[in-house]
Amino acid sequence: MVNEIYIVFGEELLPAKPDVDPVDFVQSGLGSEGDMMKALRNTDVLKPCKPAARALTGENDPEKMARKLLSFGPKAVAMTMGAEGSLIASGESITYQPAYRVKVVDTTGAGDAYMGGLSFALLMEWPLDRVASFANACAALCCTRVGARATSAGREVEALVDDAAG
């Protein structure tokens, strides 16, 4: 069982918290605001939730948040927005993906399921609309079961995507 999470920053190993916000980054001793910005410049895919994106950018509109986050250096931004779905942005485009409507039993692990789906879909080099759809479907299906390990097979994810597409 993992008791602590660490990030590598330069040659230092620093304690980290998942979903750390910018204020927490500094207050937790992870580094200065400048250190955080340096880390963002070296980020391929940034995946904040909407409140963290708002804290990082000072913006309220998701599209403006994504564009500003991209200006910090990441090649792509995948912002989760709860019941609103998600948004994935790159230098070329912004894709909104509404949340799938499922019978929610437990949301534990939904963010992890989203990250797994996002990572898989990006590695498959799918277009951003398919990446967003697949990642959202992974999260939605996780919510239909109890527990953080409520994963779904790829065929279940694809079936949800296909059903929603009509």
Active site residue 112: yes
For the chain, percent of residues with pLDDT exceeding 70: 83
Active site residue 52: no
Q: Distance of CA 85 to CAs 109, 120, 124, 141, 142, Å?
A: 16, 18, 21, 13, 14
Spot the catalytic one: 53, 110, 121, 137.
110
Active site residue 21: no
- If one compares 68 and 7, the residue with the highest pLDDT of the two is 68
Terminal-to-terminal C-alpha distance of the chain: 42
In this predicted structure, the answer to whether residue 97 has a pLDDT above a threshold of 60 is yes
Spot the catalytic one: 35, 55, 111, 150.
111
Global pTM value: 0.79
pLDDT digits 0-9 by tens, 54-77: 988 999 999 999 999 999 998 999
Q: According to the model, what pLDDT value does residue 50 have?
A: 92
Domains (ranges, CATH) in the chain? 43-165 (3.40.1190.20)
pLDDT digits 0-9 by tens, 108-124: 888 888 988 999 899 99
Active site residue 111: yes
